[in-house]
Amino acid sequence: MQKILVIEDEFEIRENITELLHAQNFQVIAVENGIKGITAAQTHIPDLIICDISMPELDGYRVLEALRHEPITASIPFIFLTAFVEKSNTRKGMELGADDYLTKPCTPAELLSAIAARLAKQATRDRQQSEKLEELRQSIILSLPHELRTPLNGILASSELLLMHFDQPEDADTREMIELINISGKRLYRLIQNFLLYAELELIAASPEQIKALQAHSTPCAEALVTEKAVYQAQQVHRQPDLELELEDAYLQISPTRLMKIVDELVDNAFKFSVPGTPVKVACQVSQGIFTLSVSDKGRGMKPEQLMQIGAHMQFDRKLYEQQGSGLGLAIAKRLAELHGGSLSIESVPAEQTTVTVKLPLAPE
């Protein structure tokens, strides 16, 4: 049974629409204002939303704007039903992302026709998107892991075995080459894992049900996890004295595995793009129900135009600097934060300092 959310402050109109939709075998969630409408949309994930514009507390435009900015509700068909008849109102609604605009009074047939058209269009869009995503998923799952992981495991195992049994101290050049093979293999393995994770996150982002399942996990002791991962990264590059920790504990609405990935990528980048002897600061604080994680370094920084181009395949100043990896780390951290209802932002002054800030919601009590 398809679900329709009705957001209408006039009791009689709300009841009439509810009765009409029930008669057509729709499941109906009806609320009387915009604030309750946003909560209901995020809780129930309806198949379609019908919303008035002129309402107390929060009008229909702001409801639509709020829902379009949340991944879990961004693609839900949205119909305005309002007494406003001016073209400027219609245009404003469409610019914000409304799918249709009906003026009151409208007949039951007109309303049902608009609903049917929007649901059919959404079904077609969902089907086409599912076909494309399934093709991508099959290609990645069936081809990439086997084609890349299998030979790479052989390279890693063989190089590690050679290092374990290498007993020719006088042949330092050969040992150095074997170590380089092993290190390069580990970097390639990390890159493959990140590509697979990024593809997985894109698949999740296209499914409200999967987003909701992703957000169902929690981490009770964030401070211990952040500490463990930051210290490990510092040890890997022999920069324990450079690490500064200023942490506050929190109970977060994100799984330990996903939180560790965010910390791993941000701290790894901070060490990678700063020189030994300069500080890398990891700080956490809680305020007004939001957990803020920030990672700062005194490295080369990024220009404003570079900050605007953060994406899965972006590498900054490739010709000027040696950079390992494909630039996926920030994109993955940003996507993870957004899928959990948070955000990622960067403040950077070239050649001085970069601070990456991730905000995540606390777990409900």
- With respect to residue 134, please indicate whether it lies within any of the assigned structural domains: no
Q: Where are the beta strands (DSSP E) in 99-219?
A: 100-103
Categorize the per-residue pLDDT at 309 as very low, low, confident or very high, splitting at 50, 70 and 90.
Answer: low
Domain presence at residue 135: no
Does 120 share its domain with 180? no
- Backbone dihedral angles phi then psi of residue 242, each to the nearest 5 degrees: -80, -15
pLDDT of residue 154: 87
Residues 299 and 350 in one domain: yes
Residues 283, 354 share a domain: yes
Token look-up 């049917």 returns 116
Domain count, the chain: 3
Q: Please tell me the least confidently modeled range out of 34-43, 74-83, 136-145, 262-271.
A: 136-145
Q: Residue 245 belongs to a domain with what CATH number?
A: 3.30.565.10
Burial environment of residue 103 by CB neighbours within 10 A (0 to 12, 13 to 18, 19 or more)? middle
Does residue 238 lie in a domain region?
Answer: yes
Residue 25: phi and psi, rounded to 5, are: 70, 30
Question: Is 223 in the same domain as 286?
Answer: yes
DSSP strand pairing (48-51 vs 78-82): parallel
Q: Please check the confidence at residue 325 and state whether its pLDDT lies above 60.
A: no
Average pLDDT on 61-71 reads: 92
Alpha-carbon distances, residue 277 vs 226, 239, 283, 298 (angstroms): 22, 8, 19, 10
Tell me if 138 is assigned to some domain.
Answer: no
pTM of the model: 0.62
Q: Give the mean model confidence (pLDDT) for residues 138-150.
A: 67
Q: Which residues pair with 100 in a beta bridge?
A: 79
- End-of-domain residue from the set 206, 232, 248: 206
Q: 233 with 297, same domain?
A: yes
Question: What is residue 155's three-state secondary structure?
Answer: helix
Assign 3-class secondary structure to 20-56.
Answer: HHHHCCCEEEEECCHHHHHHHHHHHCCCEEEECCCCC
Statement to judge: residues 199 and 286 lie in one domain: no
Helix pair 328-339, 256-272: axis angle to 10 deg: 150
Residues 240-295: tens digit of each pLDDT: 999 999 999 999 999 999 999 999 999 999 999 899 999 999 999 999 999 999 99
Supply the pLDDT for residue 146. 63
Whole-number Å distance between alpha carbons of 247 and 296: 13
DSSP β-ladder status, 290-297 and 48-51: unpaired
How many other CB atoms sit within 10 Å of the CB of residue 68? 15
Residues 155, 113 within the same domain: no
**Could you tell me the maximum CA-CA distance found in the chain, to the nearest angstrom?**
91
Task: State the pLDDT at residue 362.
Answer: 95
Comparing 254 with 82, which gets the higher pLDDT? Answer: 254
What per-residue confidence (pLDDT) applies to 133? 75
CA 40, 41, 46: angle at the middle one, nearest 5? 115
Amino acid at position 20, single letter: L
Alpha carbon 44 to chain centroid distance? Answer: 20
Domain with 328, as residue range(s), is: 214-361
**Average pLDDT of the residues in 6-26:** 95
Q: Which of 151, 177, 206 is the last residue of a domain?
A: 206
What does the pLDDT read at residue 222? 95
Closest by Cα among 90, 91, 71 to 81:
90
The predicted pLDDT at position 333 comes to 93
For the stretch 147-199, pLDDT in tens is 777 788 889 899 998 888 887 777 888 888 999 998 888 888 888 888 888 88
